[in-house]
Each structure stands twice: as C-alpha cells, then as structure tokens.
Amino acid sequence: MKACLLLSLAAPAVGFIAQPFSQNGKIVSTSYLDSLDSMTESSTMNDYATGASPDSMLTSPVKSSRTAVASPGRNTPVSKVNQKDPFDTDGESEQVQGGSLKTWTFADPRVQRAQVVMRTMGRPLNSKIELWQGPDNSPYKLDVYLEDGDLRPFKAMIELPGSSNTIAVRNEGHLDFPIEAKVEPGPLNGKSMMEVGKGRVVQGGAVYTTPFEPNVQSVKLILQTDGRPMNARIELMQGPYNDKQVMEIYTEDGFERPFICVIETPGVGNVVRIVNTATVEFPLKASVDPFKVDSD
C-alpha cells in the first residue's frame, strides 16, 4: 500500500501547454507565456489609475497606486526618479531594410502589451508602426522620425487588448538607411512604466511644452484620453526649429490603447513639445516625467 502511494505521488503532473506566439513565422519559446499565468496586473487602464473611470479622467487628477514622480522643476532625489529601463532586454532584433516591412504576430490573448525598440547605426530613422487587429483594421498608427537612431533610439509600449494582434514595422527610409527593430512581449514589471503623475489636459489644437534640466537623461511620456480617438504630435527639440525626434500618433481609443514611450534626452536645452492635432472636442491628458537622471 505504501509503495503504491509513493508511486502515485512521484507521477508527473500533466499541465496545459500554452499556445506559442509566432514571430516572422517562427515559433518562439513559451517561457514568457507560462509566467503570465501568475500575473495579477490587468491589461486595462486600471494599471494606470486605480479607481479612475473614463468619464472622470479628464476632470480629476489620476490616482496612482505608487508615489508619483515629481515634476522636473523640483529638487527630487535621484533614487525616486531613476527606474530600471524595461527596454534593456536580451531579445534579438530584426533588420528592416529601407522600403521593406516586417511583422510580429501575438496570437495568445494573454500577451497584453508589447514593447518596440528601434535604432540605427547613427543614421536618421524614418518608419511607420501599425497595430493590425483583424482584416482592414488598424486601431493604432505611429509615424516616427529620429535624427540619430543611435543616440536617441525609439522605445515605446503598445497595449494589445483582445487577440490576434499583429505589429507591423515599415522602414520608409532609403535602402541605405536600414533599422534594427525589436518587438517582444512587454515586461512582467510593466507597472513601473504605467504610473501616471498629475498630468495636464491638452485641449484640441493646444500646445504643451516641458523643458528639462541637463542632468535628465530620459523622460517618460504617457498620452491618454477618456475613450475617444487621439491624434497628437510629440517633438523633442534642442533649440528653436531643431527637432531631434518627431512622433505622430493616432489611436482609435486612447483609453484602451494609450501612447507610452521613453524619450532619450542627452545634451542640454531639451524641450518636449506636445501638440493635440485633433479638434477641440477631443482633449487628451499628457504626463511627462523624468525617467533617468544623472547623479553627477
């Protein structure tokens, strides 16, 4: 009797094998998907603001579950500003030649967000990013221009509610300007990227600018709406009429699919400029905070 009991305890348990997602037609390891089962964070905007409803988001400051990062004008200790960069991963990047297109498909519905990193060897970067969800349905579009794709690489997170999400990256530059693109599931500790500070409402047609001190190495930017479409242009400037980075974003639902990115700000005189290119009926909320600060 004891031998039978020991054999039953030693028998291997049969588990459910998650459906892997594909990347350029290749099967990717399911270790990330297996760890998603233990996650407790939600893929909705409850990650950004606990208890905030879409109707009240534009009329009251968003409450965060953690202490909000102070504004760049305050003397904030470095330990409260510097955060671990979730984009620093060991994932492999794909080369996208000028004029070509590459896609990454996430078939498993448990993948709630994806991170996109694009860089060059110091040359300009001009690309278009689209989220495909079903045939002829692109609820998220982003145009990106970088003056120097090595000094200021593009880093953004894209929310993937639902299933059958495909991210397409098109290099709109010439053949002489290839880019390195890395698209992979968002980090498990993605909540640190989604903490929203006080923020500011930017009405349709309005402009919001935020300067940063020279010791601020990168800033975190979050744009969202109360569920209405969002059209905006984000610029990183160093001096008048000197755009180092330009991004134009469209999303059909700024609540389910907000715009989240980290902008590198090396050098001095960095100013982030946000333009709500929609009409006055479509306001948005912008949160711009320091992400990494040089302790020296």
Return the HEC string of the chain.
CHHHHHHHHHCCCCCCCCCCCEECCEECCCHHHHHHCCCCCCCCHHHCCCCCCHHHCCCCCCCCCCCCCCCCCCCCCHHHHCCCCCCCCCCCCEEECCCCEEEEEECCCCCCEEEEEEECCCCCEEEEEEEEECCCCCCEEEEEEECCCCCCCEEEEEECCCCCEEEEEEECCCCCCCEEEEEEECCCCHHHHHCCCCCEEECCCCEEEEECCCCEEEEEEEEECCCCCEEEEEEEEECCCCEEEEEEEEECCCCCCCEEEEEECCCCCEEEEEEECCCCCCCEEEEEEEEEECCC
Q: What percent of the chain has pLDDT over 70?
A: 66
CB 147 within 8 A of CB 245: yes
pLDDT digits (tens, 9 = 90+) for 150-160: 999 999 999 99
Q: Which CATH superfamily is domain 199-296 in?
A: GOLD domain (2.60.120.680)
pLDDT digits (tens, 9 = 90+) for 15-25: 433 444 454 54
What integer pLDDT is reported at residue 199 of this predicted model?
Answer: 84
pLDDT above 60 (res 203): yes
Same CATH topology for 89-194 and 199-296?
yes
pLDDT digits (tens, 9 = 90+) for 245-263: 999 999 999 999 999 999 9
Residue 136 confidence class, pLDDT cut points 50, 70, 90 = confident
Where are the chain's structural domains?
89-194, 199-296
CATH number of 89-194: 2.60.120.680
What's the pTM value of the predicted model, to 2 decimals?
A: 0.70
pLDDT above 90 (res 141): yes
Distance, CA of 286 to CA of 99 (rounded, Å): 33
pLDDT above 80 (res 172): yes
What are the b/e assignments for 59-81, b being 16+ CB within 10 Å?
A: eebbebeeebbbebeeeeeeeeb
pLDDT above 50 (res 71): no
Q: CB within 8 A of 208, min separation 6: which ones?
A: 200, 202, 273, 274, 275, 286
